[in-house]
Amino acid sequence: MTPAAVAVLAGAQTLLPATTQAKTAASGFGRDEKKFVPVMITPFDSNSAIDYDRLSRLIDFYLKAGAKGFFANCLSSEMYFLTDQERIGLTRHVVKRVNGKVPVVSTGSFGDTLNAKADFARKIHDTGVDGVILISSHFADKEESDAVLMENFEKFLSQTGTMKVGTYECPNPYKRLLSPGVFKSLVANKRMIYHKDTSEDLKNIETKLEIAKGSQLEFYNAHTATAVASLQKGARGMSPISGNFYPEIHSWLCRNANDPSKKADLDWIQAEITRTEPIISKFYPLSSKYFLKKRGVPLELVCRAKAQTIPAEQMKILDDTYTTFLGWCERLGIKG
């Protein structure tokens, strides 16, 4: 067992000697603002090939809606249904289209071995992303301990130079939440700049936020129901699937979460998006493509993952949710 793995078990705060290289101001990391970062969906054409023209238009839509970053090649992107070449091509296109306006991160921990993961991560890094995201469950099997997880993280990091990295508690292949000991060790490494949290538990979120306080790591919450609370307690931003339906709402939350004068509206919209989350989650990500198409984003209703069609009764529910969304915008003063 390596020293870093032993350190996790002992509750130590170091993983590897941290690089001292700072991210440039242009990257967007480290700026003191709350950010909505969409977990991007992938537009496909009628033949299920990536539609790069529609992807460009989707990126422009996100930016207009207030996105302050992009998470490309994630679960919402149907990354497990893409080839390595498609994952790289998708990421490269996002970086090129964004053109430095906001930071871009992308999953880079694909591969059957740690060497293969490191090799793929380098390819993702070479697209120009600001951070390479590591899926926590890619680094240890479900039955393996945190010590094994940390040992594998350490080996991976030792092979990947000084590239900036982040973590994502992706539900697939299984959801591996980072324990406080693991999280503390990772945050201690200055290369670790990003975390997407899927714990859906405010106490867990509070613990991680306390660990990350004052560090270089930016914490993004995937859980809509704890959006306002997490932002008020120090999360850098939001990155939920509902951002692929009404990104303007999450941009508004990020701008106004700490404004006492907005408390009534914050409490109200938090209850509203919590109520609608189970509705929009059905048949996702196809449901988001249907919703965005209603909003004028020219997407084909084509997915490689999960549901291929949406029943008529669910379409009606999504139609009603769209009408509800328009009411939200009217109350909050959000212009289309």
Cα torsion 194, 20, 215, 185: sign = positive
The SS3 call for residue 286 is helix
The number of angstroms, rounded, from the C-alpha of 326 to the middle of its chain's C-alpha atoms is 25
Residue 322 annotated among the catalytic residues of the structure: no
Half-sphere exposure of 68 (CA within 13 A, CB side): 21
Please provide residue 130's backbone torsions phi and psi, each rounded to the nearest 5 degrees.
Answer: -85, -20
The SS3 call for residue 49 is coil
| Location of structure tokens 């909050």 | 332
CB 117 within 8 A of CB 87: no
How is residue 78 written in tokens? 């149907």
Question: Which residues, 6+ apart, have CB-to-CB distance to 78 below 8 Å?
Answer: 41, 42, 285, 303, 304, 305
Residue 246 annotated among the catalytic residues of the structure: no
Which entry of 117, 155, 190, 196 is annotated as an active-site residue? 196
Please provide residue 243's backbone torsions phi and psi, each rounded to the nearest 5 degrees.
Answer: -65, -15
Question: Which residues, 6+ apart, have CB-to-CB distance to 4 below 8 Å?
Answer: 14, 15, 16, 150, 151, 153, 154, 185
Rounded distance between C-alpha atoms, residue 42 and residue 185, angstroms: 33
The SS3 call for residue 230 is helix
Q: Which residues are catalytic?
A: 168, 196
